[in-house]
Amino acid sequence: MTAATVSSFSIVFICLLFGIALLAAWQAFGLKRYAMLWALSFIAAAVGHGMRIGTPLVWPAAVPFFAMLACHTSVASFTLLAAGFRSRAQRSHWLVTLLWLVSTLLLLGFWILDVDGWRTSLRIITGLADAAMIAVIIATLGNRGLRVLLVQALLAIYGLYAASVGLAAWLAKSGGTAGESFFVMVLSIGTPTGMIGTGVMTLLMVSADLARDLREQAIRDPLTGLLNRRGLEERIGELHRRSGSRHPTIVALADLDRFKAINDRLGHAVGDAVLQRFARLLEERFGTLGPVARIGGEEFVLLLPDVPLSEARRRIEALHAEIPASFPDIATDHPVTASFGLTEHAEGEAFQQALSRADAALYRSKAAGRNWVTYLDRASQAAE
């Protein structure tokens, strides 16, 4: 068995290994579409290389036909790879589709017309098409720092290698300056390295995305999608590190009034819908100003950094007045309302102290008959 054949078998094995690993990741980690596309990319590469080395051993008479199919699978493999990157970046696929369509038509055209030297032409088209798909991947990654720049540089080298395969095919054509063995050598030298590199890269990206998703789940409330208590504490740390605000951070607690009655009379499904709608309302009105979190059953927190107290109170009063009209379909003895307690988080003060003061202000709103907004400063609390 020649070294080139051994290399080809290793390529098939490597591609299948990465394809299976990515399929497992696709199934286990939320069925991410790009993981499936990458898995299909490596499976297509395994099929193409398998046809290239297996056909001469099993069906020698069909070598030309399967050589043509191997070119198609190579283009398909890189197309799926590029489509995966586009899907991950939530970008359109029109350029990838166009490149694949043009490449496929050219491959079929040279094959059907049986143009003299069609095999060389097909190899050149395949090399250039593969390189073009890698260029699309590089462009899709964009400019995102040193690490991405390094990945783009490595991909650029791989793209140049893919284009050099086409050059090798030209040199190895009948009457060319090099023979078939030269083309096979070029194909065998760079392909395993490229496949291993792209396989490791895609697996690492899937793993990084999984870690990010798990971290996001850890800091998010699953029902409303808002930050939970842990996520809120992280954001508070970020706000402290940034500091430099001209105004103290406003801390506001919101609590839906008579929420237990909604659950008891209309059921928990309706109660959950009310929480979700209220969360969306808070996010829409205050999400651009600061963190919004759900820290209890029907209790929510708003942090408004660098917002003047007068502006914060105006916005919260406006929201407070808007709430009943946002729930016209909730049939209970009372309209859906919320009570608010707000305070200022003074510089150097522990956040829990400010949160406790906002809770005390919220308690005053409840004691006043609910559906109220109460502000409490440090001096007022100290005087109690």
pLDDT tens per residue, range 257-301: 999 989 988 899 999 999 999 999 999 999 888 999 999 899 999
Q: What length does the chain have?
A: 384
Cβ contacts of 367 within 8 Å, gap of 6 or more: none
**Whether residues 253 and 378 fall in one domain:** yes
User: Would you say residue 38 lies in a domain?
Assistant: yes
| Same domain (yes/no): 166, 23 | yes
- Report if residue 223 sits inside a domain: no
Task: Please give the model's pTM, rounded to 2 decimal places.
Answer: 0.79
Residue-range definition of the domain harbouring residue 237: 229-383
Is residue 139 located within the same domain as residue 255? no
Same-domain status, 73 and 170: yes
Q: Which two tokens stand for residue 12?
A: 């098939």
**One domain for residues 72 and 148:** yes
According to the model, what pLDDT value does residue 199 have? 93
Separation between Cα atoms, residue 215 and residue 28, nearest integer Å: 16
Q: Answer with the one of 151, 186, 218 that is the final residue of a domain.
A: 218
The reply to whether 209 falls in a domain is yes
| Domain stops at, among 190, 218, 246 | 218
Q: Are residues 87 and 68 in the same domain?
A: yes
What pLDDT does 380 receive? 62
Q: Are residues 251 and 345 in the same domain?
A: yes
- Residue 45: pLDDT band by 50, 70, 90 thresholds? very high
Place of tokens 């590029």: 82
Amino acid at 300: F
* Cβ burial 290-309 (10 Å sphere, 16+ → b, else e): bbbbbbeebebbbbbbebeb
CA distance linking residue 79 with residue 265, whole number of Å: 55
Measure the CA–CA gap between 22 and 39, rounded to whole angstroms.
5
How many domains are there within the chain? 2
Tell me, yes or no, whether 143 lies in a domain: yes
- Greater pLDDT, 116 or 87: 87
Distance CA 355, CA 236 (A): 12
Give me the CATH number covering residue 318.
Answer: 3.30.70.270
- Tell me what pLDDT residue 273 has: 94
Q: How confident is the model over 346-364, as pLDDT tens digits?
A: 877 888 999 999 999 999 9
Contacts 24+ apart (CB under 8 A), 110-114: 111/68
Cβ within 8 Å of residue 47, ≥6 positions away: 73
User: Residues 200, 20: contact at Cβ < 8 Å?
Assistant: no
Taking only the tens place, the pLDDT of each residue in 132-165 is: 999 999 999 988 788 899 999 999 999 999 999 8
Q: Is 3's pLDDT higher than 70?
A: no
Residue 224 lies in a domain: no
pLDDT score at 286: 93
Instruction: Give the residue-averaged pLDDT of 73-89.
Output: 96
pLDDT of residue 1: 45
Mean pLDDT of 180-195: 79
Look at residues 263, 264, 331 and name the one whose alpha carbon lies nearest to residue 298: 263
